[in-house]
Structure 1
Amino acid sequence: MDCAILLCLAGGFPASAECSAAKAELIRRITPWPVEPPLQLWRCPMGGHNVGLPGGGGSDSIPPEVAQYRDAIELWQLSKHVTSGSGGRDVYTSTVRYGYAPSSGEWVRFPSNDNALPEWLDDTIRQRTGKGFQDEYGRGFRSIVVRMQDYTGASMTEWVSY
C-alpha cells in the first residue's frame, strides 16, 4: 500500500481504483487520533533499497527523488471553538503541526503558533469556513489539513473534518 501511496502522490492522485484506495489509506492514517505517518516508506521495498525503519530511517537511506515527496508532506491538526456568553464571544483555537524532519526522516510534531499560520493554511481556512482562524465570528470546527506535492511541484491540499 505504501508503494501505491508514493506513486499516486507523485502523480497527484490520478483517478483510478488503486490511487483512490491509496488516498483513502493516507487519510485514514492521519485522522483523527493518533496521527500516523501518512507515508510509511519502510513498508515499501522499492526494488530492495533500504528505505528506513519505523520511527525514522534517516534521510540518506532513501533516494532524493523519494525524499522530496516525503519531506513536502505538511499536516496541521486544527480546532476552533466559539462560545457566546454575557461577556461576549470567546474563541478558543488550537494548532498542532506534523511533518517529516529533514535531517532524520522521522515523523515529528513541530512547534506551532495559533497566531502565526502559514499563508497557504490561512487561505485554506478562509476558503473552507469563510472566516479567519482567529475571527470571533463563524463556526467552530475540528479538522486535519494536509498539504502534499506532486512531481511537477504543484501543491495539493486536503481538508478532513472530524
Structure 2
Amino acid sequence: MKRSIIRLAAGAATASFLAAPVDAYPIDCAILLCMAGGFPASAECSAAKAEVIRRITPWPIEPPLQLWRCPMSNGVGLVGAPDGGAGTVPPEVAAYRDAIELWSLSKYVTTGSGGRDIYVNISRSSYSPSGTFVRRPASENDLPAWLDTEIREHTGSPLMNEYGPGFRSIVFRMQDYTGAYSTEWISW
C-alpha cells in the first residue's frame, strides 16, 4: 500500500513537470477566430459569442470586435486604440471587421381615436475604414433586403405593417471565411 502511494505521488509530480502552463487567451482574439469560422461549437467559441452578445445588447452598444485588445502573436494589438488609432490591420482581418453590421430596431404600435400609429426607431452601427465603430440613425427606407427578410421571419410581418407586432431587437450580421453571411437576431 505504501509503495502504491509513493508511485502515485511520483507520477503526479512527474505529470506536473511535463504539463506546459496554459495562458489565458484574450477574448477578442477568440472572437476574431471564431467569427471567421462562423462560431463553431466549442467552449471557446461559445464564450466568444456570448461576449459579442453582451457587448451589443441592450445599451450602450460596445464594438463587438475590439481588435486593439487582441495581441495575436506579436504581443501588440492589431490596432493602437479604440478609435482606430495608430497601427495597421491586415486586409484579411479588416475584411471580417468591415463586414460587421449591427442594426438596432424598435417598433411600437398604438391605437387611438384616429386609427393606428406606428413608431419606429432604427439605427445602424458598423466600422469605418479607419476602424472606428460608428452608430448612425437610419429610416425604414435604409433597410437592406436581407434585413427586411429577417424582420418578416422573426415578426411575421413587414416593419411598417400597422397590424404587425411591436418589438425591440438587435440584428448582428457577420461574414465567415467562406464569404457567407450569417445573422443573429437578439430580442430584448
The TM-score by the shorter chain falls in which range? over 0.9
Give the conservation status (yes or no) of the 8 Å contact 1:97–1:109. Answer: yes
SS at structure 1 position matched to 2:168: strand
More helix as a share of residues: 2
How many corresponding residue pairs? 160
Counterparts of residues 118-133 of structure 1 (less than 5 Å): 118-133=144-159
Shift of 1:134: 0.8
Q: Which amino acid aligns with 2:50?
A: A
What are the ranges of 5 or more consecutive residues in structure 1 without an aligned counterpart? none
Matched with 1:33 is 59
Distance 2:142 2:72 in 1: 38
Give the conservation status (yes or no) of the 8 Å contact 2:69–2:77. Answer: no
Query: Highest CA radius of gyration, 1 or 2?
Result: 2
Deviations 1:20-67 (A, max 9, x none): 110000000000000000000111011225511122236x71111100
Relative contact order higher in (CA < 8 Å, ≥ 6 apart) = 1
Q: Percent identity among equivalent residues?
A: 68
Distance 1:5 1:79 in 2: 27
Deviations 1:83-107 (A, max 9, x none): 11121111010101000002x1100
Give the conservation status (yes or no) of the 8 Å contact 1:80–1:141. Answer: yes
RMSD: 1.3
Distance 1:26 1:117 in 2: 23
Distance 1:152 1:122 in 2: 24
Shift of 1:111: 4.5
Give the conservation status (yes or no) of the 8 Å contact 1:50–1:61. Answer: no
Q: Which amino acid aligns with 1:65?
A: E
TM-score normalised per structure 1 = 0.94
4+ runs deviating over 3 angstroms: none
What are the ranges of 5 or more consecutive residues in structure 2 without an aligned counterpart? 1-26
